[in-house]
């Protein structure tokens, strides 16, 4: 992953499928870090509404995303006509610990 990757944190606010404690801890650690990141309420909702911000995010260079299953996140961007580049990295807050996600997000910050 490129050291200039843009960080994107999904709050997964509507589906309630990501453990609350994991979401809260990852967000807290991102806020405490020196890394800049963008936070969105819910990538699924954005895709459902064909939010143009997904295209802008996908077009702005490599992304490192804290959300849920990589295949789902890739599918959401593709659904909106904004497929992620091959160098996008997706960390899974449903299956990984908060420490694992945070370490992945901040590995070069």
What are the tokens at 60?
């702005």
Per-residue pLDDT of the chain (109 residues; tens, 9 = 90+): 456 899 999 999 987 889 999 999 999 999 999 999 999 999 999 999 999 999 999 998 899 999 999 999 999 999 999 999 999 999 999 999 999 999 999 997 6
H helices, E strands: number in the chain: 5, 4
Report pLDDT for 75.
96
Residue 38 CA neighbour count, 13 Å, CB half: 16
- Would residue 15 count as lying in a domain? yes
The tally of domains found in the chain comes to: 1
Report pLDDT for 1.
45
Report pLDDT for 108.
79
Range of the domain at 98: 6-105
Tokens 């295949």 correspond to what residue? 71
Angstrom CA distances, 89 to 14, 39, 46, 72, 79, stand at 23, 16, 19, 13, 18
Residues making up the chain, counted from first to last: 109
Name the nearest CA neighbour of 43 among 19, 9, 20, 89: 9
Report pLDDT for 96.
97
Report pLDDT for 55.
94
- Would residue 1 count as lying in a domain? no
């Amino acid at each position: 992953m490129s050291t200039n990757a843009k960080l994107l944190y999904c709050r997964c606010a509507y589906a309630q499928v990501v453990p609350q404690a994991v979401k809260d801890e990852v967000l807290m650690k991102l806020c405490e870090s020196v890394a800049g990141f963008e936070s969105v309420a819910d990538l699924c909702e954005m895709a459902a509404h064909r939010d143009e911000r997904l295209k802008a995010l996908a077009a702005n260079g490599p992304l490192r995303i804290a959300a849920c299953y990589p295949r789902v996140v890739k599918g959401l961007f593709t659904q909106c006509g904004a497929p992620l580049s091959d160098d996008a990295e997706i960390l899974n807050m449903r299956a990984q610990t908060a420490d694992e996600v945070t370490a992945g997000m901040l590995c070069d910050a």
